[in-house]
Every structure is written in structure tokens, then in C-alpha cells.
């Protein structure tokens, strides 16, 4: 069962009728706040090319370029029996 509620003044206030007996102990699992757009001003680099992760696969010959790699992954997901 899921019950929508708002947390205000230290109390969870249901937004609808609650089919639970008074005094029943419940577990609450709050939803995470939507992340929204990342704040680019907090990045230590201005461009992806300045990122420490940029180019980490450049010396690998088993991957090819990014497009080939992604297509290979998608192929196996679409047709796992065709290696």
C-alpha cells in the first residue's frame, strides 16, 4: 500500500483517507527530490575534454569508437543468442 503525504512541522500529513487503524506503526520511504539540471559551475573543468575521465579508453583496440561499442551492446541486448 502507498499513502501520499506531506511532511510539515515534524509530522507526516496524509493527502487522502488512510485505511489504517489509529496508532498503527508504519515505515516511511520518502521519495528523493528531483535532481534537476546539474550545476555546471561546480565542475572543476569547463569542457568534457578537460575531465580526468576523458580519453581513458583511447588505447583500447577491442572497443572501436563509441558508436561501434554502443551498437555492439545493443545488438547483444536485442539478439542475445546471436553472438
pTM of full prediction above 0.85: no
Q: What is the reported pLDDT for 80? A: 62
- The pLDDT of residue 10 is 92
- Distance, C-alpha 20 to centroid of its chain: 32
* CA distances (Å), origin 65, targets 42, 60, 68, 70, 71: 29, 10, 5, 9, 10
User: Going residue by residue through the chain (83 aa), what tens digit of pLDDT does each one get?
Assistant: 888 899 999 999 999 998 889 999 989 888 777 667 767 677 777 888 888 888 887 888 887 777 888 888 888 776 666 65
Report the relative pairing of strands 5-8 and 11-14 from DSSP bridges: antiparallel
Amino acid at each position: 500500500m502507498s499513502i501520499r503525504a506531506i511532511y510539515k512541522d515534524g509530522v507526516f500529513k496524509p493527502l487522502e483517507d488512510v485505511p489504517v487503524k489509529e496508532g498503527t506503526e508504519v515505515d516511511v520511504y520518502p521519495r528523493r527530490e528531483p535532481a534537476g539540471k546539474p550545476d555546471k559551475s561546480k565542475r572543476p573543468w569547463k569542457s568534457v575534454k578537460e575531465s580526468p575521465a576523458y580519453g581513458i579508453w583511447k588505447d583500447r583496440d577491442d572497443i572501436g569508437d563509441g558508436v561501434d561499442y554502443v551498437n555492439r551492446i545493443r545488438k547483444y541486448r536485442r539478439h542475445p543468442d546471436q553472438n
